[in-house]
Amino acid sequence: MSSEEREFSTQGYSPSRRRFLELISYLLGAIAAGLVAIPIVGAYLSPLLAAPRDQWRRVGKVSDFPVGNFVEVTFLNASPVPWSGVTAKQAAWLRRGPNDHFTALTIYCQHLGCPVRWEPGSQLFFCPCHGGVYYASGAVAAGPPERALPPYQTRVRNGQVEIKTAEIPYP
């Protein structure tokens, strides 16, 4: 057997250093791709695995809210996850009308999602980011927002005001 034949026959049985490093690089590349894919696949599957989104959340007693003025209330997000931290809380503007009829509007401006503030003197909501203005009904009064502030469903049960949560209504 010549030296060329021996070299050719041994390459099939004992991997060379180059082949070993090539296999290791393929393995490490596959592991890295798998680690990158885990959060991406999780993001796509999370809506399928999420808890029911619409839930009634208590925000306070009826007597806690004065008639005719908006009060900012906070409540737990519709589908919080254990690692949400402070982002698991949502906020809304709640107004008590006559006969204990409640109106709840999202706190987020429909232009870029900045929190709006209520000014009782002018009876308007103002967005500090780009000058959006809303009427007390939530309709757009001025500025860049194209849509009204989305309302939440409300109800009174056992003397408690409840808001039906949904996804955060960002623009």
- Tokens representing 16? 């060379």
Residue 67, C-beta contacts closer than 8 angstroms, at least 6 positions apart: 96, 97, 98
DSSP H or E segment with residue 25: helix 17-49
State the residue range of the domain holding 75: 56-164
7: confidence class by pLDDT, cuts 50, 70, 90: low
Judge if 10 and 86 occupy the same domain: no
Nearest CA to 55 among 162, 161, 151?
162
How does pLDDT run across 104-145, given as a tens digit for each residue? 999 999 988 899 999 999 999 999 998 899 999 999 999 899
Question: Would you say residue 68 lies in a domain?
Answer: yes
Judge if 101 and 145 occupy the same domain: yes
DSSP H or E segment with residue 24: helix 17-49
Region of residue 24 (phi > 0: left; psi between -120 and 50: alpha; otherwise: beta): alpha
Judge if 107 and 149 occupy the same domain: yes
Judge if 36 and 99 occupy the same domain: no
Output the pLDDT for position 25: 94
How does pLDDT run across 32-84, given as a tens digit for each residue? 999 999 888 877 776 666 555 678 899 999 988 989 889 999 988 776 667 77
Judge if 143 and 81 occupy the same domain: yes
Nearest CA to 126 among 143, 150, 105?
143
Residue 141, C-beta contacts closer than 8 angstroms, at least 6 positions apart: 124, 133, 134, 135
- Token look-up 């623009």 returns 171
Whole-model pTM? 0.65
Domain count, the chain: 2
Residue 6 has pLDDT above 90, yes or no: no
- Tokens representing 166? 């949904």
Judge if 60 and 139 occupy the same domain: yes
159, 153 in Cβ contact below 8 A? no
Judge if 64 and 34 occupy the same domain: no
Question: Would you say residue 170 lies in a domain?
Answer: no
